[in-house]
Structure 1
Amino acid sequence: MTYHIENTDPANWKVGTYWDVSEGIDLADLKSADLDCVELTLRCESPRQVESVRQEYEMVVEQIRKFGLELWSVHIPFGQEWDISTIDVSQRRLIVDAIAKLIEIAAEWHPKHAIIHPSFEPIPSEEREERIDACRESLRELSEFSISKGIRLAAECLPRTCLANDSKELLALISDSPECGVCCDVNHLFLESPEDFIRKLGNRITTLHISDNDGMDEKHWIPGEGVIQWPEVVRALVEIGYNGTFLFEANYSEARELMNCYNYLLNISSGKDLS
């Protein structure tokens, strides 16, 4: 499958945010703030309980459509129980099969992407290479299955000792998976700048998680509250021809804050004087 770079204008990007059942986010608020898209965070305690997801989220999907919002993506559950890099072969088989079932369920809702964490943490240094191999195989299998269901899997860059904590490692993880995209979470990048990561991954980046940090650990602040150089981030996205959704994964009080932030980022990235 070939993905080519197209002309892109940040002013034409769709704008979205995540929806998590644990946070009581008001879909009406998102619509009234003129957001376009939603990423649905799927919560499921165990790979053995995936059938509960359909019933739990079908009503949410109906509400998303009722408010005229697009279901841009779903986020696969994450944590130790869902670690696709585990070196326990039987446990990894259980996890991969459960994620495939979740993707099959989500396909009924027609999202474009399924976001997946390449690992949990901590990752012991002596296990890292073996876990990279295990994760690479999981991503290959799941990305092929996702495409068959009309969804593109996107491996998310992660912080600290997690797998995929820099561009080189993430490229290695998806080297056998041409169908696998990348979710660039700028809040997770500390071994290189987000703009450098974006330029190195290029058009493998198919979706975003947007928030700010303090340069030391993830914070999920609204852009402008931390140290990320946002004009550089937006310019790098333009350079690679990004045409997806500008999807916030930031803490906020009202959805209008996100649209105000997006418009602010457009202005500073174009060099307009905001004084």
Structure 2
Amino acid sequence: METIAQGFGGSTFSFMWQDTALAAMRKMQTLGLNDFDVLVVPGHLWPDQLSAADRSVLAGNLRSEGIRIESLNLPALDLNLVSRVEEFRRYSIDLYIRTMQLAADLGAGAVVVVPGRVSSLFPPPGSDTEHLLRDSLAQLLRVAERLDQKIFVELHPQTPIPTSDAMLIFLDGLAHEKLLIAYDVSNAEFVGEGQPDAIRRLGNRIGQLHLSDGTRSQWRHDRVGHGTVCFDEILKAVNETRFSGVCVLEIISSSPLEDLGASAAALKRIAID
């Protein structure tokens, strides 16, 4: 599994309330991580807080320090691309568009998009939700074409398409070369999905892989080895499908550097076995 052993990307998730995005990436770079998935929140990295000059300076710093941003990622709880409140759906689309422009300005090639949220108690009709999601993504894809950006739609348990089978059915109706999947193995573990088989089914539809540990009884993004995710089988499936994207360590922790470093080391040991 030498391809996987070459390196991993990292998520700034655990740093977003305490560091700027640049400071977080500098810290993770000391662990040998690069190709970052950067959370987009005020104070960490936020479109409206960065002028054109600010963006130019930040992009220059990234280039000079060899830091690569793979994607920008808006937190799922703040937005909803399938909201029945049209003003809120419109705001969500507009913020994604501003984030896509920021990604382009910083040299990042993609944004991660959570495909809306629905109530688990009493959701609206599935056909209505699907129509809204299709319309929202179609608007984002027009911008993606103009900016030469990719959209990674994340497999996420709070969305109307929480499994790989549901994701494939939906995306087959909205096929586009710039629309790919961010496959999150701990999210998949929580919804009871067999990740190795799902990765094989999804194949080249996966644009980014999110790695962390979790269980089927608790939705978590823990250090590798602290849950029930079978990483040896996952990495085997990833190599079988010749995955060419970035494997992002998305560890959510109060001691992120320690847990990111331990997770990267554990995965590299698995990868070279």
Query: 2:68: which partner in 1?
Result: 70
Higher helix share: 2
Which range moves more in the overlay, 35-44 or 54-63? Answer: 54-63
Query: 1:153: which partner in 2?
Result: 151
- 1:231 and 2:228 equivalent? no
**Counterparts of residues 114-125 of structure 1 (less than 5 Å):** 114-123=111-120, 124-125=122-123
Cα RMSD (Å): 2.8
Aligned counterparts of 2:154 and 2:74: Cα–Cα separation in 1? 11
Query: 1:21: which partner in 2?
Result: 16
Secondary structure at the counterpart of residue 72 of structure 1: strand
Query: 1:82: which partner in 2?
Result: 79
Aligned counterparts of 1:93 and 1:244: Cα–Cα separation in 2? 30
Which range moves more in the overlay, 193-202 or 248-257? Answer: 248-257
Q: What is the one-letter code of the residue matched to 1:220? A: H
8 A Cα contact 1:31 1:67, kept in partner: no
Question: 5+ unaligned residues in a row in structure 2: which ranges?
Answer: none
Q: What is the one-letter code of the residue matched to 1:131? A: T
Q: What is the one-letter code of the residue matched to 2:4? A: P
Query: How many residue pairs are counted as aligned between the two chains?
Result: 259
Secondary structure at the counterpart of residue 220 of structure 2: strand
Residue 256 (structure 1) shift? 5.7
Q: TM-score, normalised to structure 1's length?
A: 0.82
8 A Cα contact 2:81 2:115, kept in partner: yes
Q: For residues 62 and 209 of structure 1, do their structure 2 counterparts lie closer, same or farther at Cα, with a shift above 3 Å needed?
A: farther
Q: What is the one-letter code of the residue matched to 2:84? A: I
Residue 171 (structure 1) shift? 1.5
8 A Cα contact 2:58 2:106, kept in partner: no
Secondary structure at the counterpart of residue 218 of structure 1: coil
8 A Cα contact 1:18 1:248, kept in partner: no
Q: What is the one-letter code of the residue matched to 2:226? A: E
Q: For residues 269 and 11 of structure 1, do their structure 2 counterparts lie closer, same or farther at Cα, with a shift above 3 Å needed?
A: closer
Secondary structure at the counterpart of residue 125 of structure 2: helix
Residue 86 (structure 1) shift? 1.7
Q: TM-score, normalised to structure 2's length?
A: 0.82
Query: 1:267: which partner in 2?
Result: 269
Deviations 1:141-194 (A, max 9, x none): 2123213212101000011x4222101211233221322011011111123122
Deviations 1:94-130 (A, max 9, x none): 4323322321232111212100110124253443331
- Identity, in percent, stands at 19
Aligned counterparts of 1:216 and 1:105: Cα–Cα separation in 2? 37
Secondary structure at the counterpart of residue 212 of structure 1: coil
Secondary structure at the counterpart of residue 165 of structure 1: coil
- 1:172 and 2:174 equivalent? no
Aligned counterparts of 1:136 and 1:55: Cα–Cα separation in 2? 32
Residue 40 (structure 1) shift? 1.3
Question: 5+ unaligned residues in a row in structure 1: which ranges?
Answer: 1-6
Deviations 1:216-259 (A, max 9, x none): 23211011110000011111111221122221110342536434
Which range moves more in the overlay, 239-248 or 224-233? Answer: 239-248
